[in-house]
Structure 1
């Protein structure tokens, strides 16, 4: 999945960890990611959290897509901040999953909280044994 994820790669994200139901991604806030307040634009925070969510809910070799997501911004992030999004599974029943993602800065201070609801769709990422 990482090989095909052009958006996350283009933003300089690093996939630090993936295990069933969990994922961790990070990036550094660049100048083009800042808004008119000179803080990280909320869309980039959402994208980082959404990417961590995507890798966590796709970690079982079943294709999963987002059904619904929301984010709560807690504190601003600034140019040069190293942000890390850690996703963890809350529930996975049938084709539905719920995942929480915490975004923190390099000091471990919370920047945002994200919740994503996933839905399993047809297909796998890797060939399945026959």
Structure 2
């Protein structure tokens, strides 16, 4: 096994352990579809209790979905990486019963800082939100 393959395997193992401890994502019913270093796909079925007073998906839940995909993508090695900041643009509303999928990809990583973009789509592939996360890698090991 090459050194790069070992790093990838270690990052995936660390991400899976992180997600096993993630009570918030579990409570939301998030499903990790892909967890490669620098790339993650996470889905969520919108429940009635995730809607707001207008009967549309509360933006906080869309953000949480995108943020989880971002967290998985940016934890690329054996050091804990956290959000330094994030922005989201909501482009289309959704309702209970729909399935949302967030795809996170690394745009750049330099030193301890990184930028990751996350696109959230509905089951038809229509873009629901665009999220940009800024990461900071700590000195703490997983």
* Contact 1:21–1:60 (CA under 8 A) maintained in structure 2: no
Give the alignment's TM-score, normalised by structure 2. 0.86
Q: How many residues align?
A: 125
3-state DSSP of counterpart to 1:122 = strand
How far does residue 79 in structure 1 lie from its aligned partner after superposition?
0.8
Q: Deviations over 1:83-121 (max 9, x none)?
A: 000000000000000000000000111000000000000
Structure 2 gap ranges (5+): 1-17
- Distance (whole Å) between structure 2 residues aligned to residue 4 and residue 79 of structure 1: 26
Q: Which structure has more helix as a fraction of its residues?
A: 2
Corresponding residue for residue 63 of structure 2: 46
- Distance (whole Å) between structure 2 residues aligned to residue 51 and residue 117 of structure 1: 13
Give the alignment's TM-score, normalised by structure 1. 0.94
Corresponding residue for residue 136 of structure 2: 119
Matched, 1:14 2:31: yes
Corresponding residue for residue 128 of structure 1: none
Over aligned residues, Cα RMSD in angstroms? Answer: 0.7
How far does residue 60 in structure 1 lie from its aligned partner after superposition?
2.2
* Contact 1:18–1:59 (CA under 8 A) maintained in structure 2: no
Structure 1 gap ranges (5+): 126-130
